[in-house]
Amino acid sequence: MFVVESYPLAVALCVLTMLCWGSWANTRKLARKDWRFELFYWDYAIGVLLLALIMGLTLGSSGTLGRSFAADLSQASGASIGSALLGGTIFNLANILLVAAIEIAGMAVAFPVGIGLALIIGVVLNYVAAPVGNVGLLSLGVGLVILAITGGLPACRQNSSLVLPIIHSRN
């Protein structure tokens, strides 16, 4: 596998990674204007998966240090690989739904509600599955997230002249 042994190269690759974090939104601006944002993101996610496979099969299988990509993949069970693919698919479907909500209601409404609900549901489901941690602190955190979501409603109502016509025109 390709192993970075140089500190300056490692820092340069970290900077490159930071620049690529939001690249799906930036590359959207370069695409055709009639291409729906949600569909663009889906195509982008598939492209990232294919690029990751190509990089794994090339850089991940070159060099003399560590195991090759194929050897690492053969260690994983089919259920583990399927679980990783399912998790990635669910994550990207959630991102598509978030982007669609932003398109309908705007960033100020959709993002806090979407991310807040994901946080609340995640905490509750994880605690039900494995009750580990201080239930009081978890409840306090979930309560604060609920408060933050509902606290944003007055701001949404103040800008309802911008948001509500968009929501009603979609129904």
What lies within 8 Å, CB to CB, of 2 at 6+ separation is 59, 60, 62, 63
Could you tell me which residues come within 8 angstroms of residue 130 by beta carbon, excluding any fewer than 6 positions away? none
pTM for this structure?
0.60
Per-residue pLDDT of the chain (171 residues; tens, 9 = 90+): 677 889 999 999 999 888 877 676 677 778 788 887 777 877 888 888 898 889 888 887 777 777 778 888 888 898 999 999 899 888 888 888 887 777 777 777 777 888 888 899 999 999 999 998 899 999 999 999 999 888 877 766 665 555 445 444 554
Q: Quick one: pLDDT at residue 140? A: 95
